[in-house]
């Protein structure tokens, strides 16, 4: 192998792994590598697009690589990213994209269309004016179930009912209605766009609403119902439902058991009993709770297989990533190793964080990781996992594309588990 061929192979390998630092260093020594092709006819940009490596793709783009070149199948790097669902790469490679902006993978429940405007939560006068504004948006929940209507474009979809102030006045004056300020819609306006609020009520308000939108109803259950929302609606719902779930569970002071009042537009509950320790200093006993959960794809030491497990409650044939709560005084990496060992009997070495997902059921933060096993003999804990086994990359890819040869059903595409599996399936594999 010639020196140039060896350098190009190293360059393409760095692109496939997302090693932006190595790419920058090698480009500083030889610009000829930038649009070089490997044996399969793929450029470095195509490989970063294939594997969803945002930072490495930015290095190549800022260095002036050609985004128009195609592989032997006639696909550009953007085509490759689009095929594999790496929407953050698709946007990066779209005309007019600003390379100065950073984006994460577009995962369900994570999209933010609102500026939270936390500085306004204590401004009663401002909140009152927005509450009365005809442009403000109100989302209604009953027993944590959101008011929705059938989707306009697909029967499989549902969309949040976005009520206006005139339609919720009776609910706003009801003592059993909880009001939360979610933020202002992102836009060019100096003070932001319309304000968004969430209303939670214990009493069934169906009678009050039946004449306003006969097609609306309260979406029962969480799965798969909440996965039917659009990404925009799901992002707002994650914030609203998590807050409402916290209020429903922490109406009384967790320090002394006394009654509390809602403050900061729904982001704080304050104990009403004088002398309670929660009123002294910053004890964080009356602030919204978020539960960290690690979710991990366990990789075989040979790099060619991954381990997936299934619980009894899963739909028939479905296998997914292992997951578990992070315990007090524990890092996410330690939690990954402990949970994998407890549920599958495997010992885990390296742990790599990939991405996260808000999970409003009721209020979790899913911390998505890949980890590499150092043992391979699976011994499942029947209390947690019904079955777990190794799957080859080809078996995983068959499942992802719903091939008739598929031997298992993957988790839904809206779950971060799907992203973790798909990300691994694409690493160093052919399109």
Mean pLDDT computed over 401-423: 93
CB of 263 closer than 8 Å to CB of 269: yes
pTM: 0.77
pLDDT at 283: 67
Q: Which helix (H) or strand (E) holds 335?
A: helix 332-344
pLDDT at 413: 92
Domains of the chain: 3-92 (1.25.40.20), 114-250 (3.90.79), 291-426 (3.90.79.10)
- Measured distance CA(278)–CA(270) in Å, rounded: 8
pLDDT at 101: 47
Tell me which of 183-187, 211-215, 369-373, 404-408 is least confident: 211-215
- Measured distance CA(115)–CA(102) in Å, rounded: 17
- Which stretches within 52-139 are classed as H helix? 54-62, 77-83, 87-92, 124-132
pLDDT > 50? residue 430:
no
- C-alpha neighbours within 13 Å on the C-beta side of residue 308: 24
pLDDT > 60? residue 338:
yes
- C-alpha neighbours within 13 Å on the C-beta side of residue 154: 6
DSSP states of 198-251 as a string? EEEESS--HHHHTTT-TT-EE--SSTTGGGGS-HHHHHHHHHHHHHHHHHHH-S
pLDDT > 70? residue 105:
yes
pLDDT > 50? residue 129:
yes
For residue 385, the 8-state DSSP code is -
Using DSSP bridges, classify how beta strands 145-150 and 158-160 pair: parallel, antiparallel or unpaired.
antiparallel
Q: Centre a 10 Å sphere on the Cβ of residue 112 and count the other Cβ atoms it contains.
A: 14
- Measured distance CA(421)–CA(413) in Å, rounded: 10
């Amino acid at each position: 192998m010639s020196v140039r061929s060896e350098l190009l192979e190293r360059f393409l390998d760095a692109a496939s792994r997302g090693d932006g630092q190595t790419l920058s260093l090698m480009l500083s020594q030889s610009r000829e590598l930038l649009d070089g092709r490997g044996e399969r006819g793929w450029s470095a940009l195509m490989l970063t697009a294939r594997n969803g490596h945002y930072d490495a793709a930015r290095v190549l783009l800022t260095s002036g690589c050609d985004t128009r070149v195609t592989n032997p199948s006639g696909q550009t790097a953007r085509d490759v990213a689009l095929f594999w669902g790496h929407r953050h790469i698709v946007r990066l490679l779209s005309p007019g994209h600003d390379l100065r902006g950073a984006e994460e993978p577009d995962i369900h429940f994570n999209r933010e269309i609102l500026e939270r405007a936390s500085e306004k939560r204590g401004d009663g006068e401002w909140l009152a004016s927005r509450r009365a504004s005809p442009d403000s948006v109100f989302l209604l929940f009953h027993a944590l179930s959101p008011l929705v209507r059938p989707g306009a474009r697909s029967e499989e979809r549902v969309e949040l009912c976005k009520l206006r102030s005139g339609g919720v006045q009776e609910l706003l004056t009801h003592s059993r209605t909880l009001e939360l300020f979610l933020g202002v819609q992102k836009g060019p306006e100096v003070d932001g766009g319309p304000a968004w609020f969430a209303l939670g009520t214990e009493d069934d308000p169906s009678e009050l609403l039946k004449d306003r939108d006969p097609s609306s109803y309260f979406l029962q259950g969480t799965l798969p119902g909440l996965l039917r929302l659009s990404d925009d609606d799901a992002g707002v719902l994650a914030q609203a439902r998590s807050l409402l779930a916290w209020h429903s569970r922490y109406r009384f002071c967790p320090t002394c058991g006394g009654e509390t009042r809602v403050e900061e537009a729904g982001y704080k509950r304050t104990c009403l009993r004088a002398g309670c320790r929660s009123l002294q200093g910053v004890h964080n006993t009356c602030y919204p709770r978020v539960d960290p959960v690690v979710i991990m794809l366990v990789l075989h030491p040979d790099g060619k297989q991954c381990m997936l497990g299934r619980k009894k409650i899963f739909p028939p044939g479905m296998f997914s990533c292992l997951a578990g709560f992070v315990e007090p005084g524990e890092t996410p990496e330690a939690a990954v190793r402990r949970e994998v060992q407890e549920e599958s009997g495997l010992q885990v070495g390296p742990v790599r964080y990939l991405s996260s997902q808000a999970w409003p059921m009721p209020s979790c933060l899913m911390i998505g990781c890949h980890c590499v096993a150092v043992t391979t003999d699976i011994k499942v804990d029947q209390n947690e996992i019904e079955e777990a086994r190794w799957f080859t990359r080809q078996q995983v890819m068959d499942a992802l594309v719903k091939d008739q040869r598929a031997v298992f059903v993957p988790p839904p595409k809206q779950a971060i588990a799907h992203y973790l599996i798909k990300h691994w399936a694409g690493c160093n594999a052919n399109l």
